[in-house]
Chain A
Amino acid sequence: MLQATDIHFCIQNRPIVNKASIKLLPGELTVILGPNGAGKSSLFKVLSGDIQCRHGNVLYNGKTLSAYKTSQLAQIRAVMPQHSTLSFPFTVQEVVELGLLPLKNDFKQETVREVMEETQTWHLRDCDYSVLSGGEKQRVQLSRVLVQIWEKKPYPRFLLLDEPTSSMDIALQHHVLAIIQKIKSRNIAVLAILHDLNLAANYADQVVLMKNGNVMFQGPARKTMTASKLMEVFDHPISVFEGDSHRPTVIHTVPFSQIDQQIKHA
């Protein structure tokens, strides 16, 4: 389990994350949602160990971040940042194989192919990474972090994803979230920052809604992603049509040109 309590993070005395507490359970996908500048990425970086906060602490399986060696931490959590630029002409397969680094020699050679077939990047394996499209690069980076935690282990592990689907088309977005659902069953807790409310509503187990550095609401996706809560967080008219086993949940965001009409209708 990953437990963060009272996370407080300031830049030049301006609070970016304010008293946030969050809990990630293995087998669950937790999605952080919120408008730009809400502090999502900062909270994400505190959780991944990229930045240290003055107040609050982050526990991985009961031990604080600082109690882990960098190499030990890499064996229980993998992180996919928003953008990764590569400075040299590596091939796609070489980039994915970088994910094997923290495993020392304890991995199966087939893992790389298995993961790359899952993310539909195996056919790109000999391409130069730098010539790929944005969506392809994201799939390659996703493969890299998946390789890091692919094989089953008896202890809980963590996968942190910062907008993993932002450059992908609709089919691929669903494909990636299906992969995430599959991997979370391997005793892995997944945290993702997403912008697409519909994706979040249909795949997330837990949702954290952030605004101005504060966690406004958190809890099970259905209870948290209600129209009133979403409107309060995003400052925009939103309606939620709850789905069932046959239909997905649909979240409408209203165009500005129709906001006046909606108010009249109401």
Chain B
Amino acid sequence: MLVKSGIYRKSKTQAATLLALGALLFLVLLLSLSVGAFPIPVYQVLSVIMSNIGIELGDFTTQQRSVLVNIRLPRVILAMLVGGGLGLSGAALQGLFRNPLVEPGLIGVSSGGALFAVVYIVFGASIPLLQGLSGIGLPLFAFMGGLLNTFLVYRLASSSGKTDISLLILAGVALNALSGALIGLAIFYADDAAMRNFTFWSLGDVGGANWQKVYTAFLLIIGPAVLVFTQFRQLNALALGESEAFHMGVNVQKVKYILLISSAMMVGTAVSLTGTIGFVGLIVPHLIRLGFGADHRLVLPASFLLGAILLSVADVLARTLVVPAELPIGIITAIIGAPFFIWLIINFKKLRN
């Protein structure tokens, strides 16, 4: 009976944790909608949202409404989806590679996505076949690039089911360098129009959000995210090792494909919509594990929520720190994330000795 209540208590704690993170996300949503170059009080933010679902509280101007609905809401939702996707893909890749230092940007997933995105921006217009893809073309290409690099880095760093972390980081360095060089090459051949498109894209913040982008993000991030959530048992088993997971009945190959493809899709979509945003995928799963343990049943959804929270807070900082200008959001996450990474390395070293 004690065990029963133990398991029961644990799932109750996990549900409470997720609920708390969800509530925090909602508060951050209200805050992000309220602050900015044109502040809107939280009460009026609520009124606008309520009026959109048919409950009229009045008490807001059309200007407030139009800023909120056309500019701020898509921006905040996009930041949340991208942050959630990055946080979750970090958790999934760390679980898959069995290493807590893995991050989509570090091992080349993001740069692969960026390379293919640039190739699409620069050459897409001149290939008639790609015209039909329209809005979905850029994320699709970024996904393929992310997948290609994920696959390469995995092949380079693993032998007989074991992934060597130093090889993994080195493979990431090599792929990042190669992707960077090829991005430079593509830009060298870009014409003026493509160049302008590229510049807009590479600024890489959530400022250019519109509802079209939100719909794309919703489809291509929530879809794979749900798929990753279902793999929590398999990820728990994988933490012991690939052959142990196999002994416990996990089809390791299938789980690998699911996780690699889903992660590449989430990261690729994020990169194509908002540019390369680093370190979210590294920090978020760590904080969750530090606070609430390593059970992937909690780590996966909680990483999504905390990723969404962190990136929207970073976005709030990006647009308030240097008013009236805006900082690129990638700079904020890197300023917070890089020292965190250094701290992790120091801890990792201590743990090994």
Contact = CB atoms under 8 A, between A and B. Distances in A.
Given A87-B98, A88-B294, A75 B249 contact: yes
A94 B98 contact: no
A91 interface: yes
B244 interface: yes
A78 B237 CA distance: 14
B100 interface: yes
A94 B241 CA distance: 15
A102 interface: yes
Contacts of B7: 97, 109
Contacts of B45: none
Given A84-B241, A87-B239, A98 B248 contact: yes
A85 B293 contact: no
Interface in B246-303: 246-252, 289, 293-295
Given A49-B246, A90-B294, A99-B248, A110 B240 contact: no
Interface residues of A, number: 36
Given A84-B240, A88-B289, A101 B249 contact: yes
Interface centre among B3, B4, B295 (most CB of A within 10 A): B3
B197 interface: no
Nearest to B4: A109
A71 interface: yes
A69 B254 CA distance: 13
A70 interface: yes
Contacts of A177: none
A98 B3 contact: no
Contacts of A85: 241
A86 interface: yes
Nearest to B296: A88
Nearest to A74: B249
A94 B240 contact: no
B6 interface: yes
A148 B248 contact: yes
Contacts of A91: 293
Interface residues of B, number: 29
Contacts of B246: 49-50, 70
A90 B241 CA distance: 14
B236 interface: yes
A74 B237 CA distance: 13
Contacts of B2: 113
* A69, A90, A145: residue with the most chain B Cβ atoms closer than 10 Å: A90
Nearest to B247: A79
B308 to A, nearest CB: 22
A101 B251 CA distance: 12
B99 interface: yes
Given A84-B244, A98-B240, A109-B3, A89 B249 contact: no
B294 A89 contact: yes
A34 B191 CA distance: 71
A180 interface: no
A119 interface: no
Contacts of B243: 50, 79, 81
Interface string A101-127: 110000001101100000000000000
A165 interface: no
A131 to B, nearest CB: 11
Interface in A128-151: 145, 148
Contacts of B247: 48, 50, 74, 77-79, 81, 145
B289 A89 contact: yes
Contacts of B249: 70-75, 101-102
B233 interface: yes
Nearest to A72: B249
Contacts of B295: 90, 94
A97 to B, nearest CB: 8
B3 A113 contact: yes
A241 B289 CA distance: 54
Q: Chain A CB within 10 Å — which of B2, B99, B239, B250 has the most?
A: B239
A143 to B, nearest CB: 13
B233 A89 contact: no
B3 A70 contact: no
A72 B99 CA distance: 29
A110 B237 contact: no
Contact of A74 (B1, B248, B289): B248
B234 to A, nearest CB: 8
Contacts of B98: 87
A117 to B, nearest CB: 10
Contacts of A73: 249
A86 B240 contact: yes
Given A71-B250, A90-B236, A95-B240, 19 more contacts: A49-B246, A73-B249, A77-B247, A81-B243, A81-B247, A84-B240, A84-B244, A87-B99, A88-B239, A89-B293, A89-B294, A90-B293, A91-B293, A93-B6, A98-B236, A98-B237, A99-B248, A102-B248, A112-B3
21 contacts: A69-B251, A70-B249, A71-B250, A73-B249, A81-B241, A81-B243, A81-B244, A85-B241, A88-B95, A88-B239, A89-B289, A90-B236, A90-B293, A90-B294, A97-B7, A98-B236, A98-B240, A101-B248, A102-B249, A110-B1, A112-B3
Interface of A: 48-50, 69-75, 77-79, 81, 84-91, 93-95, 97-99, 101-102, 109-110, 112-113, 145, 148
